[in-house]
Structure 1
């Protein structure tokens, strides 16, 4: 079987077991309470074979109707008791399952939010999306239902076997003869199941990644006539998923029939061996009856143990994938040092997305506090990459990016975002009211006046006030649709509320009409007075208004100076400016 790798790591078996032990230690009362109830329920169920065996023996020797009635009432009583105890045992198990699942989700969300942005981008959305949806759902089923049922089955199987031995030592022999095929089948299955289910989940991640990429790039695909190629890619992903599903199905079709044979052996041998002992006068007919019933009872819990084990394998694979998110190494080495000022500097910065192919090559940039710098240049020159390094999204391969002489990669993310923030043309409107969307970035205690002030600063207050419910209007998926330009204004309003000292704007107004964008940038400039701003843009009016302009070409800063200085120099920027104004 060929392993299929995913972008994010998968926890090993030891880490899964360690996490399971930690969870168990957090809920000792529910865990032990449920276990005691399961034991009592199993013990109540074990009374029936013994009572029926005694009844058979009593009938053989001659008995009364009153004696039969007494045994029948006792059977009914134990049945009712077992039902009540089982009901509360399952209830306790499911309560524990819900609490454990809630903690697992909280841990996963915390770990996912702590992922370095560079790791998320490298792994792709498909893998993380599959873990967030399919793996959480599968684990939910295992924790809520499979694990409690499996626990009940294990307890019942152990106690039933113990009860069978009370009839006589000879009952162990037929039971033990059924163990070898059971152990062989389990060892064969368990050696292959985890890898099989991990591969199956990985193929779903790949399908999601391909579908997400196809949907997001639909216009590009249509423009370049790549539809057939994308269909072939999706077909290939589905074929790999089909092969992975077929492999796990093969494991089940071999494993379960083998288990059925292993179940039949003890029952048949108990009847044969017990019958021979009865004819030889070593045991009574009641003993043979009770032993046969106990061994027959043993089949159901053992079958459930084995059957649910398959569900637990799926759950364990999902848990390993969820815990793997926490094993992503941090791309920051927090030192605890505090920046002395807001002076942002890049020194001899080199960066590569692919080893051996630098996108930035020896970039030096010294930003004055409160300066507005515009970065311009051809597409693919490295402007956005440099902007992301200046915002601390990526660490440089070599060189350093410092804030007040402290490397950005040594600042905790929460502290970093208070100093430097990045806004791109990629943004998200969350499901909820506009007020809730904006309050995400607002300082604690911020009210409607601050929120409205931020909207006014980005020229969004007019359309927000025109909405039927104003700030209480529900937006996002399933709510009121906002245009791309309006969503970009919401993102910029969040930036105003977050109030970082240094802002990196990567074409942050590209989706807004050029004339409106010009007005918006001037409004923002007034609000952001005194803050350092790095604006990456294709619209050169942003460069005209900036204190300095950096021209990025082929991964280096080829020109740096004010607009007037660069125009007078007659270099690349002057050519861009002439082209912008229609002069050749």
Structure 2
């Protein structure tokens, strides 16, 4: 099983309430579609009634065949036209509802805390944005309109059947206990079954994505067998979940089919007896039988799409569940009175009871360059994320300001990014022009400002109008990293946290880029997390992080004089020989 923390799922009550709100958001379109469906259903009821009158007329030798035939043809044509218009109106309404739902889902996804996205894993979010959205689209486009049509047709046809002869309507009730029993058995199981099926698909997608993205690691460490076992387990879990929902359908559909045959046979039998005893005319029996046959179609449509509605309901619950993620910050309303970042008594844990930071204290001086070094897994990146406001501490505070300091988690994201921004070694190039990728950091930036930001990072790639990303010009990993740094220059925050931000460049290019950035970012606070210790040599201060604690803090020269952990790291980085004080 994956250790990723799954995103929540909305309750059945939330799904029903949201579906009502979404449907009633377009009242005029809904009323128009309902009116057209009602008119089409009424037109469809006329032909059986006229056929019944025709049978009675023939039996009495007084049939107006031509007039009744023309009337039947006219109503059939009218029903066809109204049905087409009703489907068109329902389709338009469905697309508007689906567009609203997609836009709101995108807003929910973009509002997710970054820490939640990372812990949920790729598979859960990808399966919701692809498989669940597709399933819900099928429900909105087809299942909901068809269910609406079926429900209205059943109501009108049942009314017409009662008006034809109340006694002739009674045989239809023979299928009610059967349908009621199977639906009572099916509905409680369907929602949970489809939720488990979607969750199993998310697990499988997550495992496949991890294997594909980490293919080189899998190959290098001989993990192919382990990943294959994980894949087999995920596929087996998905198969079991789908087998369960298939079993539900194999019980539901045969019962439905039997329920369609019984009312027709019962109506013919009872109708024949009533006619034999003079309680119903032959025309009434004919009309009633035709209505029973006619009502079977809408009922079949209703029950057949009911399964699809269960799928759509489960998908909607997963999509709405994204909005149930609690925010990781609550705006307090206070404004910081300065740009000093301070961490006091900071603890942080990815899993309850397993802290990776233990009471860290760190006060950044505005305008200084702080290098954060230490062994892998010591907590450097975690501390960097807290300093950047991406995560909030489990205990302690990370604040910005002088006298009236404000916790970073109480700043809205828009304001937070004006104070501090984080750049890691993981970058994404969006599909579009290079300009589009760059100015997303500051949408109002001019071409001159964009070009200056690229020049600040020694950009050697294509021009601003070049198409990049999927289907466009491919940027190398180093160019993608330069682009991310150029975005940072354009965003112009006061404090920057660079987590291995030049790791994909070769050492000489990295040194040249860091010198260029140093000139551009002069006067800003920079926290540089790096394994290349020349970054530490150039910094104003160096913080050594070990086992989730800052064990040493001072200048490069002072830490070498102390002959502690930093001096050992420096000697190891230079090949176990004593370096000179210039760092060469």
Aligned length: 573
Where does the alignment leave 5 or more consecutive residues of structure 1 unmatched?
A: 465-469
Distance 2:80 2:523 in 1: 73
* Aligned residue number for residue 140 of structure 1: 137
* Aligned residue number for residue 103 of structure 1: 100
Counterpart pick for 1:559 among 530, 552, 560? 552
Deviation at 1:172?
A: 2.6
Matched, 1:361 2:358: yes
Deviation at 1:6?
A: 6.4
* Aligned residue number for residue 31 of structure 2: 32
- The 5-angstrom pairing of residues 199-210 of structure 1 reads 199-210=196-207
Distance 1:501 1:94 in 2: 51
CA RMSD of aligned residues (A): 1.3
* Aligned residue number for residue 442 of structure 2: 442
Distance 1:140 1:292 in 2: 37
Distance 1:255 1:583 in 2: 74
Closer, same or farther: CA 228–185 of 1 in aligned 2, 3 Å? same
* Aligned residue number for residue 342 of structure 2: 345
Counterpart secondary structure, 1:101: helix
* Aligned residue number for residue 451 of structure 1: 450
Distance 1:388 1:429 in 2: 22
Matched, 1:18 2:28: no
8 Å contact from structure 2 (residues 431, 467) kept in 1: yes
8 Å contact from structure 1 (residues 348, 363) kept in 2: yes
Distance 1:514 1:205 in 2: 40
- The 5-angstrom pairing of residues 197-276 of structure 1 reads 197-276=194-273
Distance 1:463 1:134 in 2: 37
- The 5-angstrom pairing of residues 410-559 of structure 1 reads 410-444=410-444, 446-460=445-459, 462-464=460-462, 470-559=463-552
Matched, 1:60 2:59: yes
Deviation at 1:355?
A: 1.6
* Aligned residue number for residue 131 of structure 1: 128
Counterpart secondary structure, 1:463: coil
* Aligned residue number for residue 373 of structure 1: 370
8 Å contact from structure 1 (residues 267, 296) kept in 2: yes
Deviation at 1:105?
A: 0.7
Deviation at 1:191?
A: 1.2
Distance 2:24 2:49 in 1: 37
Deviation at 1:415?
A: 1.0
* Aligned residue number for residue 467 of structure 1: none
Output the TM-score relative to the length of structure 2.
0.97
Post-superposition, which runs of at least 4 consecutive aligned residues in structure 1 deviate over 4 A?
none
Where does the alignment leave 5 or more consecutive residues of structure 2 unmatched?
A: 578-584
Counterpart secondary structure, 1:505: strand
Deviation at 1:545?
A: 0.9
8 Å contact from structure 1 (residues 457, 493) kept in 2: yes
Counterpart secondary structure, 1:479: coil
- The 5-angstrom pairing of residues 380-391 of structure 1 reads 380-391=377-388
8 Å contact from structure 1 (residues 443, 497) kept in 2: no
Deviation at 1:463?
A: 2.5
Deviation at 1:171?
A: 2.3
* Aligned residue number for residue 8 of structure 2: 9
* Aligned residue number for residue 150 of structure 2: 153
Distance 1:73 1:472 in 2: 67
Deviation at 1:528?
A: 0.7
Counterpart secondary structure, 2:334: coil
* Aligned residue number for residue 167 of structure 2: 170
Counterpart secondary structure, 2:327: coil
Distance 1:5 1:55 in 2: 69
Distance 1:90 1:490 in 2: 49
8 Å contact from structure 1 (residues 441, 498) kept in 2: yes
Deviation at 1:20?
A: 1.1
Distance 1:288 1:123 in 2: 62
8 Å contact from structure 1 (residues 443, 498) kept in 2: no
Distance 2:74 2:537 in 1: 90
Counterpart secondary structure, 1:471: coil
Distance 1:435 1:537 in 2: 29
8 Å contact from structure 1 (residues 6, 127) kept in 2: no
Distance 1:129 1:415 in 2: 29
Distance 1:459 1:442 in 2: 20
